[in-house]
Amino acid sequence: MRIETLLFKEIVILPELFLGISLVYLVLHCTFLAIKKNYPLIQNSVLYLGVLVLFLSCFLVLNDGLDVLEQSVLNDTIVNDYLSFFSKLVIGSLSLFCLLMIQPYLTSQKINQFEYILLILFAVLGLFLLCSSNDLLTAYLAIELQSLAFYVLASFKKNSTHSVDAGIKYFILGAFSSSLFLFGSSLLYGVTGTINFEEFKDLFVNVFPGNHDVILNEISLFDFSLVQFGLVFILISLLFKLAIAPFHTWAPDVYEGSPSSSTFFFSVVPKLAIFVLLLRIFYYSFFGFFESWRYFIVIVVVLSIIVGSFGGLEQRKLKSLLVYSSISHMGYALIAFSAGTFESIQMLLCYLVVYSFSGLCVWSIFILTRLKNNHLQKQNKDLTDLVLLGKSNYMLAIFFTTVLFSVAGFPPMIGFLVKISVFLTAIESSMFFVVLISILCSVVGTFYYIRLIKILYFEKVLVGKLYYPIQVQSSVLISLLFFLFLFLFINPTLLYLFSYKISLLVSTAV
């Protein structure tokens, strides 16, 4: 599957270069097109152009596939190993699906400015760079690129106070967490003199978990507490970005207020990239300091799962419900992150891929259903708007039910499999109490998923809400997703194989 003429082995960042240059071209193209004809609606064509660009960059990522295990260029600041390859592919394909799904939404909500697509592409560029970054500076710049695009995406609807409100909240909190990241990385630079992940790994090679002599010894040559201090800042800033309790308070407001297509993007795509960065920093470079932040992450995990399960019980709006479910899911992913074994990295990646995929399915259903008698002119769905979807759109309701059972982690679906994998790694590291609490809270969380199914099928009202029919192309995509979803349970081997290979690479220190 390799096209030899497109192979530039020396330029490892060819996909990002392509994406960046085509973005610049697109900006110019759209601006001139818009100005010349007095601001026409070029939204659709820009969307398809964006899809084309994304598809080609994914193709370039695939094409540049790896002959060697790891390749680092540009003064060791960019690395192209299996982890970046895999995550770039996943993020690229997810964004591709996102773009295709939000097209009817953009038309119906009259989001007419063409920059929407460009901002999404900028965010994807930032995520690509984040996945393959090998030092703190590149990571910070990539985070900034992605976050800035997201801030504007959140506040895109200028005449709605909810949207602008969400954008401001997101901006302030995102800037705050980026500044924490910068502070942490400056401390790390101050202590070690380098910002490269490889060099961190080499510097701390005699520090490993359990080696208390080096860390706590009074007469040691080097006191590591400032390194731990800096690491805490970086950790907290990344947890802020993932919306994990107790740093989750911005998430419901921001997700509720932004236009649904932006929320779609926020909750599906960036989590994988931020986890990649977390993996690189905390498992690759600084694995020796594992013991110092492990208990902290366990507390955060338990809090997230409790908040996510109990917070979602009170919600009456669909978007807030999905936000709380994503908070609890990030908690489960962090269980695997805090276990510290080789399998835990593997299961973490599997969990994230399945989470992103099922998030994609749920949100596409959410976006594609548009109320017909929208005399209240509201843009977000309450729970009761889904009533009797089982009667009006039969197959969509079945799809929704299936995906909901997978999100809840209920047996015959792939969500169950990855959830028990995560718990398996926790049991392997003897974190029994955490697993017990989290599994009990997951039962509590199952309640609001079942409530959604109840609303879909069981309600006693005679007439449900009417929806516009879904376009052909979107329904083809959704059916494709459904079949892929069912297939994943029958044969999840590919997923496990890929994640195994990746965890072999990342865990040089484990």
Partner 1 sequence: MIINILFYLFSAILLLSSLMVILVQNSIYSILFLVLSFISSAGILFLLKCEFLALMFIVIYVGAIAVLFLFVVMMLDLKTVNLKKDTLKYFPFGVVIGGVFLTEILMVISETFKANPYGDSFLYNSHFNWYERMDTFTEIQAIGQVVYTEYVLQFLIAGNVLLLATIAAVVLTINTNVESDKKQVIFRQLSRNYKNVLIV
Partner 2 sequence: MLYIKNILSCILVLPLIGAFILSFIPSSSRSLLRSIALNCSCLTFVLSLLLWVFFNKSVGTFQFTENFFWVPILNLNFSIGIDGISLFFILLTTLLIPICLLASWDTIQVDLKKYLISFLVMEFFLIGVFCTLDLLFFYIFFESVLIPMFLIIGIWGSRERKIRAAYFFFLYTLLGSVLMLLSILYIYYQVGTTDYEVLLTFSFSPLEQKIMWFAFFASFATKVPMVPVHLWLPEAHVEAPTAGSVILAGVLLKLGTYGFIRFSFPLFPEACFYFAPFVYAMSVVGIVYTSFTAIRQSDFKRIIAYTSVAHMNLVMVGLFSFNVIGLEGAILQSLSHGFVASALFLIIGVVYDRHHTRMVKYYGGLVHTMPIYVFIFLFFTMSNIGLPGTGSFVGEFLILTGSFKANTTVTFLSATGMIIGGCYSLWLFNRIAYGNLKTQYFKNYLDINKREFLIFFPLLLGTLVMGIYPNIFLNSIHFSTNMLVEFMYF
Q: Which does 9 bind (CB under 5 to 8 A by kind): partner 1, partner 2, none?
A: none
Among 447, 468, 483, 487, binds partner 2 (CB under 8 A): 447
| 68 Cα distance to chain centroid | 28
Contacts of 229 (CB under 8 A, 6+ apart): 187
Q: Which residues bind partner 1 (CB under 8 A)?
A: 13, 20, 24, 27, 39, 74-75, 77-78, 113, 115, 118-119, 122, 125, 129, 137-138, 141-142, 144-145, 148-149, 151-152, 155-156, 158, 191, 223, 225-226, 229
- The beta-carbon contacts of 191-199 under 8 Å, at least 24 apart in sequence, are 191/226, 191/227, 191/230, 192/227, 195/135, 195/136, 195/137, 196/76, 196/77, 196/134, 196/135, 197/79, 197/134, 197/135, 197/136, 197/280, 197/281, 197/284, 197/285, 198/72, 198/76, 198/134, 198/285
366 binds partner 2 (CB under 8 A): no
Among 313, 436, 480, 484, binds partner 2 (CB under 8 A): 436
Residue 219 Cβ, how far from partner 2 at the closest point, in Å?
41
CA separation for the pair 510, 506 (Å, rounded): 9
| 234 Cα distance to chain centroid | 18
Number of H helices, E strands in the chain: 22, 2
* Cβ nearer to partner 2, comparing 205 with 494: 494
**CB contact at 8 A, 171 and 151:** yes
Among 446, 486, 505, 509, binds partner 2 (CB under 8 A): 446
433 binds partner 2 (CB under 8 A): no
504 binds partner 2 (CB under 8 A): no
Residue 223 Cβ, how far from partner 2 at the closest point, in Å?
38
Residue 166 Cβ, how far from partner 2 at the closest point, in Å?
34
Q: Which does 229 bind (CB under 5 to 8 A by kind): partner 1, partner 2, none?
A: partner 1
Residue 451 Cβ, how far from partner 2 at the closest point, in Å?
8
**For residue 59, which of 68, 69, 51, 70 has the smallest C-alpha distance?**
51
Residue 170 Cβ, how far from partner 1 at the closest point, in Å?
13
Give the Å distances, CA to CA, from 102 to 62, 285, 288, 364. 25, 38, 44, 8
Among 500, 504, 509, 510, binds partner 2 (CB under 8 A): 500
Among 65, 412, 479, 484, binds partner 2 (CB under 8 A): 412
Contacts of 32 (CB under 8 A, 6+ apart): none
Chain residues that interact with partner 2, rule: CB under 8 A: 405, 410-412, 416, 420-421, 423-424, 427-428, 432, 435-436, 439-440, 442-443, 446-447, 450, 453-454, 457-458, 460, 491-493, 496-497, 500
